[in-house]
Amino acid sequence: MLAWFFWEGSGLPSVRNEVCQIAGLPICRVTLRGRNGPLLRWLVRRENDTLRQAGIRQGIWPSALPEGLCPALRPVEVYTLRRGLMPQMIGQAARQKGVHLSRASVRLTADGAELSVYYAARLLAERARHLQLDVGLGQHALEQWLWQRYGLSCGGEEAAMEVSFRRGRAGDALLLGEDCRRQQVEYLLPPALPIPEGEDREPLLAALFAAGRVKKDEIQVKSVHFDA
């Protein structure tokens, strides 16, 4: 179970929770009311204890929630969802940028050649004309693997697009790193899946995806928002 927080900044300070289900996944909806003050912060700390005792360790909450009201939970990560949909993500990013991958050079950046970076490199090697690597630790081994498997020598012309697993990378790249939520991605979902629009949509979808409540073939990447 995960906790889903809402905040209404008016009225008397209060915290209310109720358990519901979305696509069969149990969720504890927590509604905070009132101004950010000592009483509401105390109520939130008490709620944190209640959630911890119930075994809830992950949560979703609005970015506007003041620091003193943020729950003592791990945020639901969206990068697992994006990496699970990586072929779609790469394809949609290329279409939006007007990049024909079969004729283009793509840059892959990361802070280390982990398994997901290998997967991205494989997808790009199969689709792009040239692949440039800047993946830090393990790059030489990845280059050797690409050469042995695809006969691909990394390099080529200036990159028309970047796929990045690197923290803090600018949003003109397709972001797949652990801090990628700052780049908005929109999805088309089955009509029967009751996930409302808004900033909580992607983490909620990621939680459902991780729990096996929604499958890859039920999700369509609609658009990726780039800074430039």
pLDDT at 228 over 80: no
Average pLDDT over residues 137-163: 89
CB-based contacts of 52, cutoff 8 Å, min separation 6: 72
pLDDT at 122 (0 to 100): 95
Average pLDDT over residues 114-140: 95
Query: Is residue 168 very low, low, confident or very high in pLDDT (cuts 50, 70, 90)?
Result: confident
pLDDT at 192 over 90: no
Query: Is residue 66 very low, low, confident or very high in pLDDT (cuts 50, 70, 90)?
Result: very high
Q: Which of 78-82, 117-121, 180-184, 192-196 has the lowest mean pLDDT?
A: 192-196
Look up residue 77 and give its amino acid.
E
In DSSP terms, 21 is beta-bridged to 26
Say whether 71 sits in a helix, a strand or coil.
Answer: coil
Q: What is the rounded average pLDDT for all residues in the chain? A: 93
CA atoms within 13 A on the CB side of 133: 25
Residue pair 16/30 in contact by the 8 Å Cβ criterion: yes
Residue pair 115/86 in contact by the 8 Å Cβ criterion: no
- For residues 218, 127, 105, 156, the Cα torsion angle rounded to the nearest 10 degrees is 150
Average pLDDT over residues 27-39: 96
> Considering the entire predicted model, what is its pTM?
0.90
pLDDT at 150 over 80: yes
Residue 43 structure tokens: 């109520």
pLDDT at 212 over 70: yes
Average pLDDT over residues 18-25: 93
pLDDT at 133 over 90: yes
